[in-house]
Chain A
Amino acid sequence: MNIVVGVSDMKVSNTPGDTITTYSLGSCIGLAVFDPVAKAGGMLHYMLPESKLDREKAAARPFMFADTGIPRLFKSVYRLDALKKRMEVSVFGGAQILDQNGFFNIGKRNHMALKKIFFKNKVLITHEDVGGNVNRTIRLDISTGSIFVKTSGSREVKI
């Protein structure tokens, strides 16, 4: 089954044959995790770095923000017997419009928020493809843990 992760959304699976896809990441971040032993993985598509912007919205839609979404993704795959030490962690998105600098650079801020959380929790990134001026569509194959990326104007490639 192809499971679609919408904007501000998260999905996990340990069913062989499932694929988890998120479409068209602009400045948002798509975070894919996979445990090759438990054969369990998941994907998060968040839009903004910090939930302190609007606590009410964060409570209703925790996957909108890095700091409320990322811990939930990890906890959800742990429930499928995945272990942190075995986890393959891949990060995509965080793109920016040309010349988009400083505080208005939401793509960069989204990426920084993730790095801060990972540093604090000692999570290592296995693969990263962030920044630039392209949008990205990401697909995770639960049978193998393979990840496929399609960027604007190009063909899908396996990483």
Chain B
Amino acid sequence: MISLQELIKEIKNLEPVPAVVNQLLASADDPHCSMTTISDIVQYDPAITANLIRTCNSAYFGLSNPVESVRDAVSLLGMDQIVELVLLNNSRKALSKKQKGYGLDKGAMWRYSVSSALIARGISQKTDAENHNTLFTAALLKDIGKTVLDRFVTNAFDKITHLVKDEGYSFSEAEKQLIGIDHAELGAMIVKIWKFSPTMVKIIRHHHLSDENLRNDRDIATVYLADCICMMMGIGVGADGLAYRFHGDVLQNLNINSDDLSHIIADFTFNMKKFETLLQLV
């Protein structure tokens, strides 16, 4: 079991996702938010601005005239795309490291996180979710807890494997049983310390839907489903395999049937090349 103090010390060693991201998210999902508001938030951070302009001017977007300011970038690519690029640019470092305990090589978790985020966006479009930027971000950051828990999972790996293989535990349940906290709870602690919104904290905390009372929450369900789809596709699946619980009723609540599920998988695969380019880009 780990002590709270030990965890907080570990969390403080992480390089946080910059505060501007929270500000950006709070504005982006407000239906009255203007492009000017978004530009104003971003342009006061020189590192983020430089990164954003460099990304926008890459061949991926194929813009005929180069972007010279954040305002240009927002008007050419649209608000959602800008929010996504800022998020991706600023979370790569935190999510790219090798996770030994989870059996993920360097970059594997990043790939998994971006895939989850893009799939969550696809589901949001299907379900007409208004707060799709929040859902994109929650799906991107949902496994941030693994980056801290990894060391403890490595130490307890044989016991975790025993509980999963022989006792019918899910991987998260085994983490909780042996370490005293699972990666979802820990992820929620991290984003809370980073001052993300209570909604974001809640989604990350419950993204494996261990709490039956929250199965009707559409935000959590969206991120949960994005995670399940990644597992089915074998993306970011490490030592934990597919040992998490599936709750079909959640899909029904989102009005997603098995054909919709297959369509989401097919769409994502179809755009895989674009996704690979995006991964290289940010």
Contact = CB atoms under 8 A, between A and B. Distances in A.
B236 to A, nearest CB: 9
Contacts of B246: 96-101, 104
Contact of B232 (A6, A8, A107, A151): A107
Interface residues of A, number: 35
Given A7-B272, A152-B103, A153-B161, A57 B244 contact: no
A102 B241 contact: no
Given A24-B237, A104-B261, A153-B103, A54 B242 contact: no
Interface string A8-46: 100000000000000111111000000000000000000
B259 interface: yes
17 contacts: A23-B234, A24-B234, A26-B235, A26-B237, A27-B242, A95-B242, A97-B231, A98-B245, A99-B245, A104-B246, A134-B242, A135-B237, A135-B241, A135-B242, A151-B241, A152-B241, A153-B240
Contacts of A1: none
Interface in B223-269: 228, 231-235, 237-248, 251, 257-259, 261-263, 265-266, 269
Interface in A119-159: 133-135, 151-153
A47 B265 contact: yes
Contacts of A106: 232, 258, 261-262, 265
Contacts of B239: 152-153
Nearest to A98: B245
A103 B261 CA distance: 10
Given A26-B231, A28-B234, A60 B270 contact: yes
Nearest to A49: B262
B282 to A, nearest CB: 21
Interface of A: 6-8, 23-28, 47-48, 53-54, 57, 60-61, 64, 95-104, 106-107, 133-135, 151-153
A133 B262 contact: no
Given A27-B233, A28-B233, A61 B241 contact: no
Given A133-B241, A153-B241, A61 B234 contact: no
Contact of A57 (B233, B259, B261, B266): B266
A99 B173 CA distance: 14
A97 to B, nearest CB: 4
A101 B263 CA distance: 19
